[in-house]
């Protein structure tokens, strides 16, 4: 829960920084590298080095992570820090589809129940009905958030295919290094990159790198396998819920009632999709 809430702060800190997608993506990765590198060295000593295949998959995953970060940052400014984080959770229905298309993994019946909840929720969040609250451009922001979810799904798929053999921190080090470089290059071509954003924006990016990019993600990645899947899935919902709460308290975002209903529908779909086929596993645990 602590890890999920730490990740939830990222959207608010990025919003407060006011920096471009390329600037925030580059610095949140660059500033996280020293912390993750220290932990990666310890993991290498105890668990051995990451395979060449694992490194290659992590580098490709990092490129997709950069796409996710760039698009999600754009969505933060257009849709809002809270709602954009909710919509990115569409990855929980995109990833199984990706695995079905590429690996022919079966999709359960309960998974199909999540699809209409997710689709309806995204439409409502985009402001298809009624007012859009404090969102500046909900339609474009939702489109960017969904595209970010697509990139994030590809990122997760490649990490799983990388076959890291239980290693967590070393792959993540390669991921953020790759994402930082790709984010810098793509960000420079899309809305620009400011390498000297100023001390206040830089401070918010430091917090993003330490809390969300380093501590939050690593806590979730390391601890989640030790929990029953249903418990882990439920706790991870603290990220979008926390982002909604933090954005309301810190930046004064006020989604409309329709958008909040859409967010609730997305979260319900995310929970249903992420617990498909895991009831028996949770009972065994």
Model confidence at 101, in pLDDT bands (50, 70, 90)? confident
Report the alpha-carbon distance of residue 95 to residue 92 in Å, rounded. 6
Short-list 240, 242, 241, 220, CA closest to 231: 220
Residue-wise pLDDT for 41-50, tens only, equals: 999 999 899 9
Task: Give whichever of 40-54, 186-200, 266-280 has the largest mean pLDDT.
Answer: 186-200
Model confidence at 141, in pLDDT bands (50, 70, 90)? very high
Is 36 within 8 Å of 169 (Cβ atoms)? Answer: yes
Task: Output the pTM of the full model.
Answer: 0.90
If one counts every other C-beta atom within 10 angstroms of the C-beta of residue 191, the result is 15
Higher pLDDT, 106 or 34: 34
Residue-wise pLDDT for 48-99, tens only, equals: 999 898 899 999 999 999 999 999 999 999 999 999 999 998 888 888 888 8
Report the alpha-carbon distance of residue 207 to residue 216 in Å, rounded. 11
Question: What pLDDT score does 199 carry?
Answer: 97
pLDDT higher than 70, residue 198: yes
Q: Among residues of the chain, what percentage have pLDDT more than 90?
A: 56
Residue-wise pLDDT for 225-264, tens only, equals: 677 766 777 788 899 999 999 999 999 988 888 889 999 9
Question: What pLDDT score does 282 carry?
Answer: 43
Is 174 within 8 Å of 55 (Cβ atoms)? Answer: yes
Question: What pLDDT score does 212 carry?
Answer: 92
pLDDT higher than 90, residue 220: no
Burial label, 139 (beta-carbon count in 10 A; 0-12, 13-18, 19+): middle
Residue-wise pLDDT for 153-174, tens only, equals: 999 888 777 655 678 899 999 9
């Amino acid at each position: 829960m602590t890890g999920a809430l730490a990740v939830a702060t990222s959207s608010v800190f990025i919003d407060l920084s006011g920096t471009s997608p390329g600037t925030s993506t580059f610095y949140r990765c660059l500033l996280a590298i020293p912390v993750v590198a220290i932990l990666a060295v310890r993991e290498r000593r105890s668990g051995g080095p990451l395979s060449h295949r694992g490194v290659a998959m992590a580098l490709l995953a990092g490129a997709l992570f950069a796409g996710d970060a760039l698009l999600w940052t754009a969505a933060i400014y257009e849709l809002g820090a809270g709602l954009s984080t909710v919509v990115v959770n569409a990855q929980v229905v995109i990833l199984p589809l990706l695995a079905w298309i590429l690996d022919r993994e079966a999709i359960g019946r309960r998974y199909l129940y999540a699809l209409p909840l997710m689709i309806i929720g995204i439409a409502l969040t985009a402001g298809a009905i009624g007012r859009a609250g404090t969102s500046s451009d909900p339609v474009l922001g939702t489109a960017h958030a969904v595209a970010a979810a697509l990139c994030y799904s590809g990122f997760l798929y490649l990490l799983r295919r990388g076959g890291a053999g239980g290693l967590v921190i070393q792959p993540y080090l390669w991921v953020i290094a790759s994402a930082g470089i790709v984010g810098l290059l793509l960000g420079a071509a899309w809305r620009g990159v400011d390498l000297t954003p100023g001390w206040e924006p830089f401070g918010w990016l430091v917090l993003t790198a330490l809390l969300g990019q380093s501590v939050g993600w690593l806590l979730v990645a390391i601890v989640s396998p030790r929990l029953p899947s249903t418990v882990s899935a439920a706790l991870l919902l603290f990220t979008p819920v926390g982002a909604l709460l933090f954005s309301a308290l810190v930046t004064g975002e006020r989604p409309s009632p329709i958008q909040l209903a859409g967010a609730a529908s997305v979260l319900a779909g995310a929970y249903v999709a992420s617990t498909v086929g895991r009831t028996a596993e949770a009972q065994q645990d």
